[in-house]
Structure formats: structure tokens, C-alpha cells
Chain A
Amino acid sequence: MLQRLLSDNFIPSADAGVGALAVSGLSVAYHQRLVLRDITWTAPAHGLVAIVGPNGAGKSTFLKAVLGLVPALTGNIEIYGRPLKRQRALIGYVPQRESVDWDFPVSALDVVTMGRYGLIGWGRRITGKHRAAAMQALDRVGMADLAHRQIGQLSGGQQQRVFLARALAQEARLYFMDEPLAGVDAATEQTILAVLRELDAEGRTVICVHHDLQTVAETFDHVLMLNGELVAAGPVYEALTEDNLRRAYGQRASGLRLGPR
């Protein structure tokens, strides 16, 4: 609680016209190689946003740079009109599943409880209230009965749901998810998509790196199309054109069908 109050988070009212996330002039380089060049983009205040692009387009890098996890060469990031630093408590994050060691000695519930740590605060004990909130988040992704299992004994889809539950436990306003649907089973995919729609209905924003072009139109409202630089951005049916796809993916995309028109 304390951390929330101190950080003085600020969410403008919906009609103020301020995007959930405003990125200006963002460039990122790994060593001497430029991965992202001069991205300027404002995410809508509501809705589900997909970040699409070919392999190596810098989708994950974009997410990490926005969150301050990789250093940006240039650029400025604002969350609800204020610097990222002051708005951390409004952010929820689902990293790629491969980014952690699943043999780590923690249970599913332990991991989800980590989403509450920001609300609990420095050096304070984890109380029953927060454990109950974590349990509720696990229940929301259909994992309550596996709460006490060591995370290495879960399937890939179940691990992904644990990560989503941890983000839900953060009670964030703006979510960043890095390929939450990559390599998951059908049941998990349905659960995750349902949660995404719930988050949307609750008025939260979800920005999601997404690999599957076929399903973008079914689930997401907006897209940000990257290929090292910004190719297109906007409502799905405006931005996801054959022309833009060819610019992002090259000839490979020309045969893609883009769902109902």
C-alpha cells in the first residue's frame, strides 16, 4: 500500500486523450547493432494491443526497453502521461516463459504471491490477505488445485498460466505480456484469451507480443507492427493490411489470410 501512495500514480480520466503508453523516438542497440530505430507510438487508453512482426523484428526488445529492462539509446517513455519511474505500480508484466529457471524451489502459489510484493512493501511479511489474493488469481486461470506444486512439475501451459496469474495478482492498470500464447496447449490458450478479454472489459490495457498473425484479428483491437522500425500502427483492420504485412515480413506474408473483413 505504502509504495502505491508514495509513488503518486496518476491515471487521467478516459476523456483526457492521454494514451496508456507514449513512446517517442525510441532506439535500442545491442552492442553496435541497432535493433529498434526511432519508434514513436502512442498506445490507446483502452483495449488489447498486439505487437506483431517477423522474428528478430525487435518485438520483445521493444517491450523490455519500454519497461527499462534493456537500456535505450535514445527515446522517452511515458505511462499515462507521466515518466515510467513514477508509474511502476500501475504496470503488470508477463515475461517470456524461458526467462526463468523452472527448477527453482518455489510453488505455483509462491510465484503468484510475488505479484503482491509491491503491494506488501519492503521487508514486510506476506500476510494471509495477500496469499488469498494470490490464490484467487490462480483460481482465475484455473490453477487453484495445483497451487502447492513445485513449478518444475507443471506443464508448459500451466507454467504460462502461473505467470499470467502473477501479473493478475499485481492488480495493474496496464499489462505488458511477452508471447503469453507461445507454445501453449489449446485449453491454456482459451483460458488466457478469456482472461485477456476480462482485463479489457475491466477497462485495463494489455500490450502483448504476439506471434500468430492468424489470430490477431480475432482477439486484439489494435496492432503495432514492427520490423526494426515502426511499419504500421492503429486499429487492426486499418493497420493489418496486405501492403503493411509485405513491408514487415517480405514476400512470405503475401499468402496470409487475415480473417473476416
Chain B
Amino acid sequence: MEMVGHNTLVVLLGATALGLAAGMVGCFMVLRRRALVSDALSHATLPGIVTAFLTGLALGIDGRSLPLLLAGAAISGVIAVLTIQAIKRWTRLTEDAAIGAVLSVFFGAGVVLLSVVQELPAANAAGLKGFIFGQTAAMRSGEAMGLGALALVAAALIWLFFKEFRLLAFDEGFARAAGWPTGRIDLALMALVTLVTVVGLQTVGLVLIIALLITPAATARFWTDDLAAMLIIAGGVGAVSGGVGALLSSRFADLPAGAIIVLVATSLFFISLIIAPSRGLLGRSLRRARLRRALLARGITG
């Protein structure tokens, strides 16, 4: 194997850190049944990105300034989540209907805005499309360090407030009755998800970031019945997916990194689905077969 170049190393470390953060944070989204809310959040970043680009253009700033675009992404993502909550609270629509409506409206608006921007003669909107499917190859070392910082922040917050997050995810009513500020704990969790989503947009893209949040958590659940272990395994699965995915996509230059990362995570998911000892399909059917044989041997045939 030839040496890994500097650029590849940067991408590798950045994607690994993103996978680690997404894997850990995603556990709480899966356990709180918020997977689809995170999907709406990520899709809803698109109109924010394009609007931020246009705003930058109007103000005479370089529209492709990353902080500006990510701020726009975060704002429209948060507006989408708030809209879902408002629909749920003030109408009789169920959450899945609210999510479906909000996701498609925001994403649709984003696509329309994007095609308008690309028609503008003055605008150089070439980079914007990268946010949809991700463009890992273009990662700079500053961005990789940003992803590393994100992973550190996520891990530190989860370590510090592990018991609060666990309580909220398991039994929100009990937590509120006991006087915990569940709204604020929930806000902290949603802020973490928003952060992971927005920071991960460039790497994995807004269509697929959901997979990096959910798949490692779902994979980890096969291997353990303990939340702390699940967080560690999910972080590991996310990190490996990010790292291996980035490496593969750098070897085969035409492969989009986001898609490869997600495919690696999905492979790990399917392997776990089959071979995980206690919750996997293989273990289950073996145990059932053994039980049936034991019953038959004892002459209990029904």
C-alpha cells in the first residue's frame, strides 16, 4: 500500500471525527424516536444555505464564506424543527405528517432557490451543490480540525450530562415530575444534533447526514443492552464508517465520499443484524431451534 498523502489524511481524520460525533449523538435521536426529525432538520438546511449565499452576495461578501453558509443552514434547520413542534402542538396532525410536510416544503424551496441562483450571471454558485451530496475531497485542514472539535464537544457534553440525557430519553414524564428542566435538556440535545448536521453538511451532504446519525446507533443497539456501551459502539461504528468511507472515496476519485461513508455504515449494520449474538437474526433463530429441539426431546409436542 502506498503512503497516504497529506490531503487524504486530513479528509480521513475529519470524516472519522464527524462519524464519532454523529454516532454518539444519533443514539439519543434513535432512542427518543427523533430519527425523522433529524432528517427534516438536515433537508431543511438547503434554503438556509442558498439564502445565506444570496445575502452574502447582496452585502458584497464572498457568498461562499463557510461560516455564513453554515449559519444560514443552522437557522433554517432550526426553523423547520420549531415548525414541526408548532404543528404538533397546535393542530391535530400527527408528528409524521408534520415532518413530511415540513421536510418537503423546506427542501423544495431550497431546490427552487438553488436553481434561481444558478441562473444569476453574477453569482458563482458552483460550490453550493456540494452541500447536497457532500464533497469530502475538498476538505481543508481547518475544516478537519473543526470536525475534531465537534467530536470533542459532543463526547464531553454526553459524558457530563449522561444521566440527564438518559433520563430524558427513557422517561420524560418522570423527569418533569421530578423537577428536571426537560425543555432545556431537550434543547441541549437538539443543539448537538443541529451542530453535527450543519458541520457535517460539507462532508456527507444534507441528503445523507441522517444515515450517519441513525445507522451507527441502530447498529450499536444489536450488540448491547447498556446505553453507555451503545454510545461507545455507535461512536466507533460512525468513526470507522467515516474513516473507511473517506479513504475509499479518495482511492477511487469519482466516488462521492458521503455515499461511500453511508454504505460502509450500512454494511456494518447488516453484518450486525445477522451475527450479533443476542439480538441478531442468526442468534435468535439458533436459540429458537435449540428450544424447539429441547421441547421435542421432552415430548412436549403440543
Interface residues of A (CB under 8 A from B): 3, 7, 31, 64, 67-69, 88-89, 91, 93, 95, 99-101, 104-107, 110-111, 114, 117-118, 120, 122-123, 126, 150, 152, 166, 170, 176
**A100, B171: Cβ atoms under 8 Å?**
yes
* A68 contact from B166, B170, B176, B224, Cβ within 8 A: B176
**B167, A114: Cβ atoms under 8 Å?**
yes
Interface residues of B (CB under 8 A from A): 31, 33, 92, 160-161, 163-164, 166-167, 169-171, 173-174, 176-180, 221, 224-227, 229-230
**B170, A111: Cβ atoms under 8 Å?**
yes
Which residues on B sit within 8 Å (CB–CB) of A122?
164
User: In the bound complex, how far is the Cα of B176 from the Cα of A191, in angstroms?
Assistant: 27
Closest Cβ neighbor of B166 among chain A residues: A106
* A95 contact from B92, B161, B174, B180, Cβ within 8 A: B174
**A120, B227: Cβ atoms under 8 Å?**
no
Which residues on A sit within 8 Å (CB–CB) of B221?
105
Which residues on B sit within 8 Å (CB–CB) of A67?
176-177
**A114, B171: Cβ atoms under 8 Å?**
yes
**B163, A99: Cβ atoms under 8 Å?**
no
Closest Cβ neighbor of A84 among chain B residues: B179
The number of A-B residue pairs with CB atoms under 8 Å apart is 80
**B173, A69: Cβ atoms under 8 Å?**
yes
Which residues on B sit within 8 Å (CB–CB) of A105?
31, 221, 224-227, 229-230
* A104 contact from B31, B179, B180, B224, Cβ within 8 A: B31
- Chain B contact residues: helix, strand, loop or mixed: helix
User: In the bound complex, how far is the Cα of B264 from the Cα of A107, in angstroms?
Assistant: 31
What are 30 contact pairs spanning A and B, CB under 8 A?
Answer: A7-B179, A31-B92, A68-B176, A69-B173, A69-B177, A88-B178, A88-B179, A91-B177, A93-B173, A93-B174, A93-B177, A99-B173, A100-B171, A101-B31, A104-B31, A104-B169, A104-B170, A104-B227, A105-B230, A106-B225, A107-B225, A110-B166, A110-B227, A114-B167, A114-B170, A118-B178, A120-B163, A122-B164, A150-B225, A152-B225
User: In the bound complex, how far is the Cα of B43 from the Cα of A201, in angstroms?
Assistant: 58
Q: A106-B227, A107-B225 are in contact. Are A123 and B161 (CB under 8 A)?
A: yes
Which residues on B sit within 8 Å (CB–CB) of A117?
163-164, 167, 178, 180
Most buried by A among B169, B173, B176, B177: B177
Which residues on A sit within 8 Å (CB–CB) of B163?
114, 117, 120, 126
**A69, B225: Cβ atoms under 8 Å?**
no
- Shortest C-beta distance, B157 to chain A (Å), equals 10
User: In the bound complex, how far is the Cα of B180 from the Cα of A7, in angstroms?
Assistant: 12
Which residues on B sit within 8 Å (CB–CB) of A118?
178-180
Which residues on A sit within 8 Å (CB–CB) of B229?
105
